[in-house]
Structure 1
């Protein structure tokens, strides 16, 4: 998983995608996140992990149901089983969320700490 995220962090920044997400969430994304959200369809999928598309990120209410949709969270990575890695705008941290249980269950300044273990 770390290699997958390392590669995502090296993607060229797509300014249109970044501006669209920043406008939708009224925020400024951190540098590494600008690269990650700029991944194209060829670089979006890894083993048991998927970087959400611009459309999925902007339409997060379809993903973040109930209480989570008002928590200033930007879903970034689908780690399946209703779990997502999101960016917490207020606290400037990454968080793990479960949309089924509507909870935030982990947080970190380092996205690598939230990645699921590889099988």
Structure 2
């Protein structure tokens, strides 16, 4: 959700720092926003919890959910997205790099100009 929020805000030309500060002060505030928001704004995906590990753990959770008949559509979708990010060669990045995939799927290339060549 944080990756989607950042992509949405950027697409609308919002002041990202101010917008995330406002969001963080309300009910949408979270530990993820506080800990990952600044590095995502800076496009720093230095691994804390790698995409590949997040994908593996979601697979374990989804298997266990299926075995018990628990419906977990959000976890299944995030697992799919993490799998796509991993398949693109980003398994070594922090799981906050999901922002890159959301931007890509939105038709936004937000990489620095030097990285687009």
TM-score (normalizing by structure 1) = 0.29
For CA contacts below 8 A with separation 6 or more, give which structure has more relative contact order.
2
TM-score (normalizing by structure 2) = 0.30
Structure label with greater radius of gyration? 2
Structure with the larger strand share? 1
Structure with the larger helix share? 2
